[in-house]
Chain A
Amino acid sequence: MTFSKFIEDRLGRLLLHGSLVAGAAVFLLLTGTQPGILLLLLLLWGVFFVGSQVIEFLRFRNHIRELASILENLDRKYLFMECVPKPTTLQEEILFDLMRQAGKSMVEAVSDAQATTKEYREYIESWVHEIKTPITAARLICRNTDEKTRRKLTVELAQIENHVERALYYARAESPEQDFLVRQISLEDIAAEALEHHRSLLIQSGLRVETENLAHVVYTDGKWVCFLLGQLLQNAVRYQGEQPVITLSAKPLGNQVQLTVSDNGIGIPAHELPRVFDRGFTGSNGRSRGGSTGMGLYLCRKLADQLGIQLDIQSVEGQGTRVRFTFPASH
């Protein structure tokens, strides 16, 4: 806010004031007041008037600055009305009351929405846990059927399980409270768990798995990273080419660790590459092969962000795809 804006705002009042003073001066002059005295009066008035305007301007500016800095320092801006100092003028007090009521209803709406999201997320989590028991039972029952049926059913059950997992991690990724647990864990263990999880899928699809130099320790939530690797394994199977191979390897990068997952699958067209992490994006490969949800890589990016893992993807159509995870340095 500048002084000229301040003046502009109260221009009407100032003009009225000025013309009243001018009128009074003319009246005094006509009724015989000596011009010298009148000049002195006008001078005195002028000093007081300009002084009072400047003081008022400075006060007003400080007040505005104070309010702005309160807003700036607020984590949740909608709580502003709860934090401002008590109003001093009548106009401010009335405004303050109105704003406060508006703010209150906003806070209520926000906390309602948060509670709903939380409940929804909790329901999804418990639903996912519930559904896993019948899937387990179905897996066990499968064992009694003939080999061919068992294989087919196992693949379908694994699909169900993967969809369910994505729903769970979607709920986790969307919620503001982060419930992962950062621990020291070796990439070897995480990779082993992810591979074990997808064992039947990988064996049956004939995808060869190679692991190299995974004996590195990272600080992260192993389960989350296991889920991320799982998405890449599923993609490698879905978009496999001739003699499919997926390679998991790691190397230190300063005091960070970089994990690379590369496959020799059909790859991603260059113009689609920038969008693969977008929510719901299914590229031309996804559409032609079917079964793509457009959620896998979106969730990878989202979860990796929360874990502080840098994720980048490179791909050459017809040759393969490489995804790199750069784990944050240990402290």
Chain B
Amino acid sequence: MQKIMIIEDDPAVRRELSLLLENEGYQVLAVSDFMDILSQFQTFDPDLVLLDLGLPDEDGFTLCMKLRNISRVPIIFITARDSSMDELQALNLGGDDYITKPYNIPVLLARVKMVLRRAAGTQEPDRLEAKGLSISLSGGIACAGGQTIELTRNELRIMAHLMQHPGEIVSRTELIDILWDNHIYIDDNTLSVNITRLRGKLEEIGLPDYIKTRRGMGYQI
């Protein structure tokens, strides 16, 4: 399990953020004693630090420098300060990302995932396989039973997400969020159109009903 350390002085945000990340399957340490953060850091040894800029004793910038002296752990700044100057300083001090409050929860989770993946050096696999279908993300194609079809960027992203969660029900809002994370600005209607086209294409290569609709809940493969 990946470990995330939260350094945030507002108790409500701290509590809710920990809950959110725990629900997402991370192990979380939310610092509530700001006196000796460095030793808490060394004991917990996190894979990622979420760092607020405005802290009671020393500010996030100073703390970031201290952390950088002893570790190369990924650091995401989470702050209400939104000027370009603050962001530049944060990134110059070795921050990996900079998110301003109030953040969208899906955006926050996507950024956390991205920074963790980058730090681990793992890349998204290019080839995905599930239930008799395989797709190539770089080639933009899907194959089944020796037949190949080309997929558009949107279709590819939808398929990739469904295939990463075989058997699970994926809601429409979740799919829309995933597409937005990939800078595909899709709305509910366009999603329906894309799913319909995708189904048509899958039917061509002998996979009708590959994507099942779960009424009122979403899609499933």
Q: Which chain A residues have a beta carbon within 8 Å of chain B's beta carbons?
A: 128-130, 132-141, 143, 157, 161, 168, 179-181, 183, 192, 195-197, 199-200, 202-203, 206-211, 221-224
Q: Are B84 and A183 in contact (CB under 8 A)?
A: yes
* Residue of chain A at shortest CB distance from B52: A133
Q: Are A208 and B190 in contact (CB under 8 A)?
A: yes
A/B interface sample: 20 pairs, CB < 8 A: A132-B100, A133-B101, A136-B10, A137-B10, A137-B16, A138-B102, A140-B17, A140-B19, A168-B82, A180-B84, A183-B84, A192-B183, A199-B104, A203-B176, A203-B187, A206-B188, A206-B189, A208-B189, A222-B84, A223-B84
Pick the most buried of B100, B189, B190: most chain A CB atoms within 10 A of its CB.
B100
* Residue of chain B at shortest CB distance from A210: B185
- Extra A-B contacts (11), CB below 8 Å, given A140-B105, A202-B187, A203-B187: A133-B10, A136-B103, A141-B12, A179-B83, A180-B83, A202-B185, A203-B188, A206-B188, A206-B189, A211-B183, A223-B84
Bound CA span A38–B87, Å: 91
What sequence of 0s and 1s flags, for each residue 93-112 of chain B, a beta carbon within 8 Å of any chain A beta carbon? 00000001111111100000
Q: Are B187 and A129 in contact (CB under 8 A)?
A: no
User: Which residue from B80, B85, B176, B183 sits with its C-beta under 8 Å from A129?
Assistant: B80
Bound CA span A192–B88, Å: 18
CB distance from A262 to the nearest CB of B (A): 15
User: Which residue from A140, A203, A223 sits with its C-beta under 8 Å from B20?
Assistant: A140
Is residue B13 contacting chain A, with contact meaning CB distance below 8 A?
yes
Pick the most buried of B85, B104, B107, B189: most chain A CB atoms within 10 A of its CB.
B104
Instruction: Tally B residues with Cβ within 8 Å of A.
Output: 34
Q: Are A136 and B107 in contact (CB under 8 A)?
A: no
The DSSP consensus for interface residues of chain A is helix
Q: Are B13 and A140 in contact (CB under 8 A)?
A: yes
Residues of A contacting B54 in the complex (Cβ-Cβ under 8 angstroms): 129
Pick the most buried of A133, A135, A161: most chain B CB atoms within 10 A of its CB.
A133
Residues of B contacting A183 in the complex (Cβ-Cβ under 8 angstroms): 84, 88
CB distance from A246 to the nearest CB of B (A): 9
Is residue B165 contacting chain A, with contact meaning CB distance below 8 A?
no
Is residue B81 contacting chain A, with contact meaning CB distance below 8 A?
yes
User: Which residue from A132, A180, A208 sits with its C-beta under 8 Å from B102?
Assistant: A132
Q: Are A179 and B85 in contact (CB under 8 A)?
A: yes
Bound CA span A331–B120, Å: 39
If A129-B80, A179-B85, A183-B88 touch, whether A136 touches B101 (CB-CB below 8 Å) is: yes
Bound CA span A135–B101, Å: 8
User: Which residue from B84, B101, B183, B188 sits with its C-beta under 8 Å from A221?
Assistant: B84
Is residue B44 contacting chain A, with contact meaning CB distance below 8 A?
no
Q: Are B80 and A133 in contact (CB under 8 A)?
A: yes
